[in-house]
């Protein structure tokens, strides 16, 4: 990312204990620039961005050189909290938070948005690495405020073996004690999640973690593209559950009003395209899960489930799922609980030989991938493949990679 313009506030690692104060005093237009080093932090919320148009970025623009660390004892509950619009956090490593490494939530009783999270390395959160929620409960969405138009790009979300052992018990659902996940957003609209890597977000034993990427509680119109998700218990999710007892976020245009079969939709719209998802660990649930997802499109993804993983590559559930699933290379596609969808030009249960090196999670197409090369259906919003190439406009290749001819 180019260095943002504005008044520069320079900070060194010797000022780690002052980060909260520095952020609290920042004025709109300030760019807080961190020198290389490890910033050891503790406390409830280390930094709370309460004013708009403030940036936090490393001077080197290299996340590996600027580390904000809650320590092995997870002495920080949250590292970054954002409650204002037009905030940028870029090129920094955040690690070891008891709850969240980054938490977005409306402040001052107003919607917030236009937030950029770029080039971050997020490591070992006790709960969700990146959490976004409203300022009201699901029962009061008519008066709640929301977090919209967020970009999460070119970042990594990684859970280590040591971090996995720290994950706390889910406080609200004892049946699923593995209370961690990658990106978890409530009732969020207009997000872009692009070119990120999620790895190792799962718990050992019989408990499922939350998704690597999850939008639910009636958000809408997200673009989730060109991400790599390796060995996470759940990959990408739009919606969750059947929605019993949950109220929707109100939208003035009442999307899909004529298509609904029931009062609740878990998500509206959303494009999931050109992602690679691979899992061979247990427990595992699904690579892409659509639950009460109205208008979702799943295009040109490669989803491979193998080894100890036992679940569906792609699934769509419940009557208010109305989805299109096209041009995907997937181990399986499963309809559940009355889900509605259009399936076309997908290649199921692909053999390992059609990929360059699946053992190393290299899912580029090999020359033997005749069942995928040129076998897709042209899509006007197919986007770019994992390598940044456009799909053929007449006979596109199936999956997340265009074959290099």
Domain of residue 290, CATH code: 2.160.20.10
Domain range for 227 is 7-365
CA 394, 398, 399, 404 torsion-angle sign: negative
Q: What is the mean pLDDT of residues 295-317?
A: 97
Q: What is d(CA 316, CA 302) in angstroms, rounded to the nearest whole number?
A: 16
Mean pLDDT of 175-199: 94
Are 234 and 286 in contact, with CB atoms under 8 Å apart?
yes
134-148, 201-215, 345-359, range with the lowest pLDDT: 134-148
Determine, yes or no, domain membership for 374. Answer: no
* Interatomic CA distance for residues 27 and 30, integer angstroms: 6
Q: How far, in Å, CA of 55 to CA of 303, rounded?
A: 36
Residue 346 is assigned to a structural domain of this protein = yes
Distances (CA, A) of 297 to 204, 293, 320, 374, 401: 32, 10, 14, 20, 18
- Is the distance from CB of 150 to CB of 105 less than 8 angstroms? no
**pLDDT tens digits, 113-122:** 999 999 999 9
Specify if 401 maps to a domain. Answer: no
Please report whether residue 23 resides in a domain.
yes
Q: How buried is 85 (Cβ within 10 angstroms: 0-12 exposed, 13-18 middle, 19+ buried)?
A: buried
HSE of 209, CA atoms in CB hemisphere, 13 A: 35
Q: What is the pTM of this model?
A: 0.97
394 lies in some domain? no
pLDDT for 108 beyond 90: no
Q: How many domains in the chain?
A: 1
pLDDT at 169 over 80: no
Backbone angles phi, psi at 23, to 5 degrees: -65, -40
Query: Which sign does the torsion angle of CA 35, 99, 151, 24 carry?
Result: negative
Give pLDDT, residue 92: 98
Give the three-state DSSP class for 358. Answer: helix
| pLDDT the model gives residue 126 | 93
First to last CA, the chain: 32
User: Within a domain: residue 404?
Assistant: no
Structure tokens at 40: 């050891």
Mean pLDDT across 189-204? 97
150 within domain boundaries? yes
pLDDT score recorded for residue 136: 81
195 and 244 in contact (C-beta within 8 Å)? no
Tens digits of residue pLDDT in 376-400: 999 999 999 999 999 999 999 999 9
Cis amide leading into 283 (omega within 30):
yes
Asked if the structure places residue 393 within a domain, the reply is: no
Contact present, 32 and 4 (Cβ < 8 Å): no
Environment class of 376 (CB within 10 Å of its CB; exposed 0-12, middle 13-18, buried 19+): buried
């Amino acid at each position: 990312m180019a260095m943002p313009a504005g008044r520069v506030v320079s900070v060194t690692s010797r000022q780690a204990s002052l980060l909260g104060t520095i952020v609290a005093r920042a004025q709109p237009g300030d760019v807080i620039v961190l020198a290389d080093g490890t910033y050891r932090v503790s406390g409830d919320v280390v930094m709370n961005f309460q004013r708009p148009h403030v940036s936090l970025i490393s001077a080197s623009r290299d996340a590996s050189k600027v580390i904000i660390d809650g320590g092995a004892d997870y002495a920080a509950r949250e590292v970054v909290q954002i409650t204002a619009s037009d905030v940028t956090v870029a090129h920094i490593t955040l690690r070891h938070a008891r709850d969240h490494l980054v938490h977005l939530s409306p402040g001052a009783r107003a919607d917030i948005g236009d937030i950029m999270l770029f080039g971050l390395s997020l490591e070992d959160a006790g709960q969700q690495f990146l959490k976004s929620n409203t300022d009201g409960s699901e029962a009061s969405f008519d008066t709640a405020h929301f977090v919209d138009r967020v970009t999460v790009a070119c970042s990594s979300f990684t859970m280590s073996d040591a971090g996995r052992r720290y994950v706390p018990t889910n406080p609200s659902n004892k049946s699923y004690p593995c209370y961690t996940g990658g990106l978890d957003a409530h009732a969020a609209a207009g997000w872009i999640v692009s070119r990120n890597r999620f790895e190792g977000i799962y718990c050992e034993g019989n408990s499922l973690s939350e998704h690597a990427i999850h939008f639910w509680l009636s958000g809408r119109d997200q673009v989730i593209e060109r991400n790599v998700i390796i060995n996470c218990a759940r990959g990408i999710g739009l919606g969750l559950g059947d929605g019993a007892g949950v109220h929707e976020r109100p939208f003035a245009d009442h999307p899909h009003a004529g298509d609904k079969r029931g009062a609740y939709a878990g998500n509206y719209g959303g494009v999931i395209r050109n992602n690679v998802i691979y899992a061979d660990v247990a427990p595992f649930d699904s690579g892409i899960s659509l639950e009460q997802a109205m208008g979702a499109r799943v295009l040109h993804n490669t989803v491979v489930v193998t080894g100890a993983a036992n679940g569906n590559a792609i699934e769509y559930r419940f009557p208010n799922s109305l989805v299109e699933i096209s041009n995907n290379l997937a181990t399986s596609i499963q309809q559940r609980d009355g889900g509605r969808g259009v399936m076309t030009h997908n290649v199921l249960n692909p053999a390992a030989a059609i990929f360059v090196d699946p053992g190393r999670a290299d899912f580029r197409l090999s020359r033997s991938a005749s069942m995928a090369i040129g076998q897709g259906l042209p899509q006007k919003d197919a986007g770019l493949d994992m390598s940044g190439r456009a799909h053929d406009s007449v006979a596109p290749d199936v999956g997340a990679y265009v074959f290099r001819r």
